[in-house]
């Protein structure tokens, strides 16, 4: 079967809720993926930063296989022997004191929103059913109905109403807007320290610190959505570390499993997550032993292979080299660590055609919004691999 046959089959039976590049992958290892016709590509998307540890990391795959042969799912009706160690290890690594495991990122966000609302009523003393949560324009936090209720992207909402009330959307990076939006009913401020799907948008220096201080002053929970920016992507374990803050709640997902299994988690304190009593919240698969074993190994790989440090170093190098490219299409090159966005000028007529040209040269990227190419390879990438990619990226950016 050729690429076109796989695509035809997929298009025939599948729902067309994605517009993927036409590459059919059947094998992957480290930073490389292979298609059904045997072509090799450098993966510069890393499954939206879920495979920070590299594809099919041997240690993570081994942990997955070994656990799969022991016990995969107990449900939380019973306990399992992996979850306590996951709790301890994730807390020790991240500096949080309490954790709640879920599966997808969106579920992690929903969990954080529920925790914040309940904290608002039970601890802050907000009047019943009037809690507000502030979010930012251009956010991405998943696709559930409550989460899209605070999206600013029309397409994400079109046709899916009615929406969940209780959210305010303000400008990202604007402290005065946050100050103005906070009321006595504000339970939380939910923010991505670096907006990923929004186009790798880094807020102005000092913004997160000022926002955090403002939240503290007003008894508002600061919730960091680090599902994409976290676990080393930004060159720090968490992107919020650049501003020396400690969010009340941090949500992680994606690379928590090295891309081997859906695992997410909400990190916080006993005071905040303690608002959940038995029966208040749950998930059949959340915290299952297979997920816990995979996440434990994924975190160990991140630390032991010094991937956070490599992300910082390689990110500096990669961005520096990209900035040397003299292309008329370039508007801005931004990011932190290996979280890199190349914004093209509107005259470049969209990032998609550049992503397609990169694919033809063996590099896989995906446009985000119209005009941004995101480069976010696995954090194991070497200088040699970046040097292999650079002339190809330059050639593509020099196209008419």
Ligand X SMILES: *Cc1c(COP(=O)(O)O)cnc(C)c1O
Catalytic-labelled residue, pool 118, 124, 254, 336: 254
Residues in Cβ contact with 333 at an 8 Å cutoff, skipping those fewer than 6 apart? 319, 322, 323, 340, 341, 342, 343
Q: Active site includes 371? A: no
Summarize as ranges the residues that interact with ligand X (CB under 6 A).
48, 104-106, 109, 140-142, 192, 196-197, 225, 227-228, 253
Catalytic-labelled residue, pool 43, 225, 248, 371: 225
Stretch (H or E) spanning 186 = strand 186-191
Closer of 265 and 333 to ligand X (Cβ): 265
Q: Shortest approach of ligand X to residue 388 CB, angstroms?
A: 27
Q: Shortest approach of ligand X to residue 143 CB, angstroms?
A: 7
Q: Shortest approach of ligand X to residue 383 CB, angstroms?
A: 27
Closer of 190 and 380 to ligand X (Cβ): 190
Closer of 35 and 138 to ligand X (Cβ): 138
- Taking each helix axis from N to C end, the angle separating 289-304 and 83-94, rounded to the nearest 10 degrees, works out to 30
Closer of 224 and 389 to ligand X (Cβ): 224
**Residue 109 contacts residue 141 (beta carbons within 8 Å):** yes
Which pairs from 79-87 meet CB under 8 Å and 24+ separation?
80/287, 80/288, 80/289, 80/292, 81/289, 82/289, 82/290, 82/292, 82/293, 82/296, 83/287, 83/289, 83/292, 85/292, 85/296, 86/287, 86/292, 86/293, 86/295, 86/296
Q: Shortest approach of ligand X to residue 160 CB, angstroms?
A: 16
Q: Active site includes 254? A: yes
CB atoms within 10 A of CB 284: 11
Q: Shortest approach of ligand X to residue 109 CB, angstroms?
A: 6
Q: Active site includes 81? A: no
Catalytic-labelled residue, pool 86, 140, 189, 375: 140
Closer of 142 and 235 to ligand X (Cβ): 142
Residue nearest to ligand X (CB): 105
Residues annotated as part of the active site: 140, 225, 254
């Amino acid at each position: 079967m050729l690429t076109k046959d796989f695509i035809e089959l997929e298009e025939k039976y599948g729902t067309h809720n994605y517009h993927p590049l036409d590459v059919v992958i059947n094998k992957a290892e480290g930073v490389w993926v292979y298609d059904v016709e045997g072509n090799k590509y450098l993966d510069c998307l890393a499954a939206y930063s879920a495979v920070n540890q590299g594809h099919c990391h041997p240690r993570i795959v081994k942990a997955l296989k070994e656990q799969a042969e022991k016990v995969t799912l107990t449900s939380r009706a019973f306990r399992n022997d992996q979850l306590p160690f996951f709790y301890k290890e994730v807390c020790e690594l991240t500096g949080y004191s309490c954790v709640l495991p879920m599966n997808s990122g969106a579920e992690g966000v929903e969990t954080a929103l529920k925790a914040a609302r309940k904290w608002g009523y039970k601890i802050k003393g907000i009047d019943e059913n009037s809690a507000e949560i502030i979010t930012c324009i251009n956010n991405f936090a998943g696709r559930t109905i409550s989460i899209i209720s605070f999206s600013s992207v029309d397409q994400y909402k079109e046709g899916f109403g009615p929406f969940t009330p209780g959210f305010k959307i303000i400008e990202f990076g604007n402290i005065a807007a946050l100050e103005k939006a906070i009321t006595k009913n504000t339970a939380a401020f939910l923010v991505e320290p670096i907006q990923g799907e929004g186009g790798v948008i880094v807020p102005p220096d000092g913004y997160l610190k000022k926002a955090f201080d403002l939240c503290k002053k007003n008894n508002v929970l600061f919730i960091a959505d680090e599902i994409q920016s976290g676990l080393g992507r930004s060159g720090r374990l968490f992107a919020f570390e650049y501003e020396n803050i400690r969010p009340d709640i941090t949500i992680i997902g994606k690379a928590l499993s090295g891309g081997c299994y859906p695992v997410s988690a909400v990190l916080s304190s006993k005071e905040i997550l303690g608002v959940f009593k038995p029966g208040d919240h749950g998930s059949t698969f959340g915290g299952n032993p297979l997920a816990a074993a995979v996440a434990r190994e994924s975190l160990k790989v991140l630390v032991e292979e010094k991937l956070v440090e490599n992300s910082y170093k390689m990110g500096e190098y990669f961005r520096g080299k990209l900035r040397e490219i003299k292309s008329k299409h370039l508007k801005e090159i931004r990011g932190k660590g290996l979280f890199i966005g190349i914004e093209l000028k509107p005259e470049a007529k969209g990032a998609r055609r550049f992503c397609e040209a990169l694919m033809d040269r063996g590099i896989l990227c995906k446009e985000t919004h119209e005009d941004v190419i995101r480069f976010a390879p696995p954090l194991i990438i070497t200088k040699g691999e970046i040097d292999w990619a650079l002339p190809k990226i330059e050639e593509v950016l020099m196209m008419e």
